[in-house]
Amino acid sequence: MTPFHPAKRVSDIKISPTTAAAQKVRELQAAGRDILNLTIGEPDFDTPTSIKDAAIAAIQAGDTKYTSVNGTVALRKAIQHDFSGRLGITCGLDQICVGGGAKQILFVALMASVENGGEVIIPAPYWVSYPDMVVANGGTPVIVTCPETQDFKITPEQLEAAITPNTRWFIMNSPSNPTGVAYTPPELQALGAVLARHPHVWVLCDEIYDRIWFADFAATSIVSACPKLAERALMVNGVSKSHAMTGWRIGYGVGPLPLINAINKLQSQMASCPASMSQAAAAVALTGDQGSVAEQVAAYRHRRDRAVARINAIPGLSCRQPEGAFYLYASCAGAIGKTTPAGKVIANDLDFVLYLLDEAGVAAVHGAAYGLEPYFRISTATSVEIIDAACDRIDAACRALA
């Protein structure tokens, strides 16, 4: 039998660390281990009934056929309405693309625009998939380290220094996965001023968490703050996080027509279209009553506050308070160099999260996966009871280090 040899693009990338961590947890739980799972970036709430009813109604009405590659008119009108009402951004229906989750839109946008080592600026900490998405599409990730001393945010000076004639994109993620930081309008305007001097650089705005918002200033896209950037920006969003619809797989992008047309051309050869009933549900999610979103955000805020207080009370750990999303990016610097009860030295944040998994039965993701050590990410998309139980275990584990 002839052995299979994957294409270089497959060999050059790695499996998503968060996906791998979640799979490890499932395996340990299946083997009978008591594991508190703080790895998953997925709402623990059920999809609201009105949204599920919309999908059921679509099925019963026979709305089960192919749709346009760029999505149904009803969904695109709902996206258009949402962008206008929440962000003050207007767009034509032909400037919207719809795909199987925001993740797919991001990947296909890079596929449509990056090749031959084209550079993509990625501030670190970053969502784990950005660098590998760039590499898989023939590009070169340019990682810019943004330490906690600057609130994990890229500065205008750093952005200016990272731009070269080969720069194709600058990726912005606000609120951020994994840190939860959100850029203020003045910070966005300062970055926009840099980009104004470099018209060849486009902006890929990952705004999937912009409804899960805790800051005392309104959620703002860089395109809202710098309207001229609309000519070279793709704003990516979806219903997965905001409306507890991860499994429905609906994401979308709003951007200039030439880019949207290129994305849709690729989509026509890849997936034809997202599921019709999922699109019907997403249209109702965006246009219907938003009370469930507000309730979930209030719960996430309460969980964030509880988790921040608990983590900051544990010896050797600390974390800043996020402005959005449902993650904490906690420093474990105080644990590095210490020795476990089994005699192993904690050399880095991977050692630390493995220690928590083995000794405390708490699953988290190490900071190196997000491009900045020594940290670990925990998800607060779970109950306060689980957060408290996990923090109890983490506290005991940290106090056992010598």
pLDDT category at 296 given cuts 50, 70, 90 is: very high
CB-based contacts of 227, cutoff 8 Å, min separation 6: none
**Nearest of 142, 129, 221, 217 to residue 177 by alpha carbon:** 129
Q: How distant, in Å, are the alpha carbons of 28, 105, 243, 314, 383 from that of 389?
A: 18, 37, 26, 13, 10
Go through 356-380 and write b for each residue having 16 or more CB atoms within 10 A of its CB, e for each that does not. Answer: bbebbbbbbbbbbbbbbbbbbbbbb
With 90 as the cut, is the pLDDT of residue 308 above it? yes
For the chain, domain boundaries = 8-46+292-399, 65-287
Instruction: Find tokens 């509880």 and name the residue.
Output: 306
* Contact by Cβ (8 Å): 160, 134: no
With 80 as the cut, is the pLDDT of residue 18 above it? no
How many Cα atoms occupy the beta-carbon half-sphere of 229 within 13 Å?
Answer: 29
With 80 as the cut, is the pLDDT of residue 401 above it? yes
H/E stretch holding 353: helix 349-355
* Contact by Cβ (8 Å): 353, 161: no
pLDDT category at 189 given cuts 50, 70, 90 is: very high
What tens digit of pLDDT does each residue of 204-250 get? 999 999 999 999 999 999 999 999 999 999 999 999 999 999 999 99
Class of 8-46+292-399 in CATH:
alpha beta
pTM listed for this prediction? 0.96
What tens digit of pLDDT does each residue of 121-173 get? 999 999 999 999 999 999 999 999 999 999 999 999 999 999 999 999 999 99
What tens digit of pLDDT does each residue of 29-80 get? 888 889 999 998 999 999 999 999 999 999 999 999 999 999 999 999 999 9
Instruction: Rounding to the nearest 10 degrees, give the CA dihedral for residues 14, 19, 20, 22.
Output: 170
**Nearest of 313, 341, 327 to residue 376 by alpha carbon:** 327
- Give the span between the Cα atoms of 134 and 151, in whole angstroms: 25
**Strand ranges of the sheet holding 251-254, from the earlier edge strand across to the other edge:** 96-99, 251-254, 233-238, 202-206, 167-173, 119-124, 140-145
In this structure, what DSSP letter does residue 119 have?
A: E
What tens digit of pLDDT does each residue of 190-206 get? 999 999 999 999 999 99
pLDDT of 309 reads 98
Length of the chain: 402
Instruction: Find tokens 């703080």 and name the residue.
Output: 38
Angle at 252 between CA 71 and CA 187, to 5 degrees: 155
Instruction: Find tokens 């004639």 and name the residue.
Output: 165
Give the sign of the dihedral formed by CA 218, CA 220, CA 225, CA 228: negative
What's the CATH fold of domain 65-287?
Aspartate Aminotransferase; domain 2 (3.40.640)
pLDDT of 254 reads 98
